[in-house]
Chains A and B, each alone.
Chain A
Amino acid sequence: MSKNKKIISGLALAAVAFIIMMFSTMPSAGSKEITISDLAENGSKFEGDYIMTQGLLNKDSVKWDADKLELRFEIYEENQGTLQIFHKGIKPDNFTEDVIVLVEGFIKEDGVFEAEKVQTKCPTKYEGEGMENYDTQMHKEIYKNDKQD
């Protein structure tokens, strides 16, 4: 065997070790992406899983307790169902009607989703559509497209 080959096989071994390491961290570090309708229908199935889901914010449902630093709100998906969210923390920027909200956390027995992370995703954020003629329909459209991917 030439030195080149030996070195290459050594490196290949290292690569295998590396890949094993990568795969072993995989399952523990992930969040499953589940749709609201799945969560609304059989939430109990996902109990204990770290879940990521997204939906449109119902602004009227937002309840913010400043003293306890507790945020409660509802996200929904048209004709698919709604999800109650509880978050120990603050409101993110851009928390307006029908903005897409990304949440990560656990679903509890009572069907309330305890979010560890709440982020808003505004399709207009980088595309700069003005907010004064902010088009809810378009937002929903984009949201729908998002789902199909």
Chain B
Amino acid sequence: MYLIGNIAIYLGIAISIYGLIANALGIKQKSGKWLESARGAVLSLAFVSSISSFLLLYILGTSQFQFKYVASYTNESLPLAYKLTAFWAGNAGSLLLWAFLLSIYTAMVVFSKEQKNPMMPYVSSILMLNVLFFFTVMALNANPFEMTDKIPADGKGLNPMLQNPGMILHPVTLYMGYVGLAVPFAFGIAALILKRMDSEWIKLTRRWTLLAWLFLTLGNIIGGWWAYLELGWGGYWAWDPVENASFLPWLTVSAFLHSVMIQERKNMLKTWNLSLIILSYILTLFGTFLVRSGILTSVHAFGDSNLGTYFLVFMAFMMLFSLYIVMTRYTLIKKDSSPIEAYFSKESSFLLNNLILVAAAFAVFWGTMYPLISETFTGTKVNVGAPYFDKVMAPILLGLIVLMGICPLIAWQKAVIEKFLKNMLWPLAMGVATAIILFAAGVKGIYAIVGLSATSFMFGTHVLEFARGIGARRKATKENVLKAAFKLTVKNQRRYGGYIVHIGIAVIAVGVISSHAYSSEVLKTLNTGESIKIGEYALQFNSLTEQMKNGNGVVVADVAVFYKGKDIGKIKPEKIFYETWPEPSTEVAIKTNWSQDLYVVLSSWENKDKVTLMVKVNPFVSWIWTGGIIMVIGTAFALAGGGPASSRYQINKGLKTVGR
């Protein structure tokens, strides 16, 4: 077993080197044989990485503690699901997962319908270079199949915080997003190397990019959900460097998704798009570097600091390589771009949207790196933390929401202002109405009201867009409303998928703004029978009991909850003592209704009759998760949709429009 695992890893290195050479020879000698052989290498690579992944799953599942990785992250009594998902609990396994996904993606790309595309050898080389990197790091630094000196009787167990469904999904989805970005990056660079300045690479990778973005979205939202359920501080996002690292590529890819539409239709912004995808790809490496190197002070601390160096070197190499390619092709790209035709057009509004997204990414980057920057110049590390991000990001995101409300109403090329203003009327009215209602209801906090009104305006625009589309369709076809709505969306999946994503963002915005502005917290030590009042809730502490659950000792506080004086049942916050962990872990108890979460943490206890509780009321947090689901549905919709643009915008005729 040990042998197979290690052979697989070294084979991974050998095969990817071979594949790179075969591609190089094939390109140079124009030899189909060599290229064919490189394709074989890609397939074997997928095979080898699958073997090693299944092997790791197998040894994890069967608890073979002679392997260091198995002994470090699992123990005998761990449920099987968590034994298996310990795959990505540590560095070595995460790297293997990355290599596995990457080589599967590579095989999918290389054996796609486009396999005869002249870009393909370059694409597969760039991807194999990435695979090579991961296998090399595993071999040199973090081998998942390393043995222990003496076989321990039991493993050390999985960190309790990672024993949560969120933690099963969060890392995988993020990795899938990270890895997926390598594909459009490889295509972009390949197109540049071959000096193909059309937007073919964008069309071919549209689905890849969208899929990667979908997974990044999911990964971030699930991460927030996990933090909310598991960490017990009542929040879902803390602007921690590690969180920012996964937010950065999301922002730049969001910008990319919009700006490629302009290139597809109008042949503009070529350098910009290339730079964006290169940046996004580099940011995925940067994120991993940040997480693994520990150069920043963060509560997320990963042990091994060597790994960071590998990523830094690889990132620097890829950055210089892409820069070189872009520089040498710069004049060519320029020559082939069309200029913008009117100030007031969808093109310029998209440009503005891109600028805001990139500015947001820069602000996050700046804040994250500020401790290092300030240390370089002043000698003192200054951490900027949440207040900075809140202050800077709030107006940026507000601008983005307003823009999202305006953009769909602006026509391509040259929009007519009168028509635009007429269309704006209803959404604007909705925004203003929201503000008035909120004021009338006595809601405080001007910034939150502004934010919520903007969100409502944005939501209004999208509803209007749907309504107009349905109306137009019904006029022509006499279908009933539901059928028309369905047909309309199915016929223009990209457009309406995008709108659904926007609506999801509106729902999330409501959650974020309200929970940020209006959450309340009470900390109190209670004796039996005493109660806490918070908002319209009253909580009465009844008793503290000890019980066994799944082989772990659990301390449970029994708390009765009253809402507006009415008994609405019990809430039971816990502390769990895991066998392998000396300190108990918090198990948050949450009561959710549509508009607010009652969030209770059992902080500590003096004796059976005296406990300290932290109670929070977080308004609209569940909207964030709902919005996330809507975003996923919208993205899936757009993904399923076919080619770019409808026949109205045939500009690059004759090119294949099918993505992979």
Contacts and interface: CB of A to CB of B under 8 A. Distances in A.
Interface of A: 2-4, 6-7, 11, 14-15, 18, 21-22, 25-26, 28-34, 52, 54, 64, 66-67, 69, 89-91, 93-96, 100, 102, 104, 119-134, 142, 145-146, 149
Contact of B351 (A7, A122, A129): A7
Contact of B523 (A69, A120, A121): A69
B235 interface: no
Given A14-B355, A33-B371, A66-B612, A3 B341 contact: yes
Given A6-B343, A30-B374, 5 more contacts: A3-B339, A33-B381, A90-B614, A126-B89, A146-B301
Nearest to A89: B523
Contact of A52 (B156, B297, B391): B297
Given A14-B355, A29-B391, A102-B299, A7 B348 contact: yes
Contacts of B158: 128
A149 B352 CA distance: 38
Nearest to B89: A128
B421 interface: no
Contact of B302 (A4, A66, A127): A127
Nearest to B391: A25
15 contacts: A6-B343, A26-B388, A30-B370, A31-B385, A64-B604, A91-B604, A96-B582, A102-B299, A125-B161, A126-B302, A127-B302, A128-B156, A131-B580, A131-B582, A142-B303
B340 interface: yes
A88 to B, nearest CB: 9
B603 interface: yes
Nearest to A67: B525
Nearest to B303: A127
Given A15-B359, A33-B381, A66-B610, A128 B159 contact: yes
Nearest to A132: B580
B300 interface: yes
Interface string B341-371: 1110000100110010001000100100011
**Which of A7, A119, A130, A145 is packed against the most chain B CB atoms within 10 Å?**
A130
A91 B342 CA distance: 60
B323 interface: no
B252 to A, nearest CB: 16
Nearest to A91: B604
Nearest to A134: B582
A123 B343 contact: no
A52 B412 CA distance: 51
A53 B202 CA distance: 47
Contacts of B384: 26, 29-31
Contacts of A30: 370, 374, 382-385, 388
Contacts of A54: 297
B295 A149 contact: yes
A145 B305 contact: yes
B339 A2 contact: yes
Given A14-B355, A126-B301, A132 B382 contact: no
Given A66-B610, A90-B523, A127-B302, A31 B382 contact: yes
B516 to A, nearest CB: 16
Interface in B461-481: none
A25 B388 contact: yes
A119 B299 contact: yes
A124 B90 CA distance: 10
Contacts of A28: 387
Nearest to B601: A90
Contacts of A90: 523, 603-604, 612, 614
A29 B387 contact: yes
Contacts of B524: 69
B309 interface: no
A7 B340 contact: yes
A120 B299 CA distance: 7
A62 B165 CA distance: 34
B437 interface: no
Contacts of B301: 100, 121-123, 125-126, 142, 146
B392 interface: yes
Contacts of A121: 298-299, 301
A23 to B, nearest CB: 9
A91 B302 contact: no
Contacts of B385: 29-31, 104
B380 interface: yes
B427 interface: no
Contacts of A26: 370, 384, 388
Contacts of B612: 66, 69, 90
B232 interface: yes
A96 B583 CA distance: 7
Interface string B302-325: 111100000000000000000000
A4 B345 CA distance: 13
A29 B614 contact: no
Given A30-B383, A31-B383, A142-B301, A130 B523 contact: no
Nearest to A143: B301
B583 A52 contact: no
Nearest to B614: A90
A21 B396 CA distance: 11
A91 B585 CA distance: 12
Contacts of A22: 363, 366, 392
B355 A4 contact: no
A96 B392 CA distance: 36
Closest 5 CB pairs of A and B: A130-B156, A33-B381, A29-B388, A29-B387, A30-B382
Contacts of B86: 128
Nearest to B611: A66
A49 to B, nearest CB: 10
B492 interface: no
Contacts of B583: 93-96, 131
A33 B382 CA distance: 6
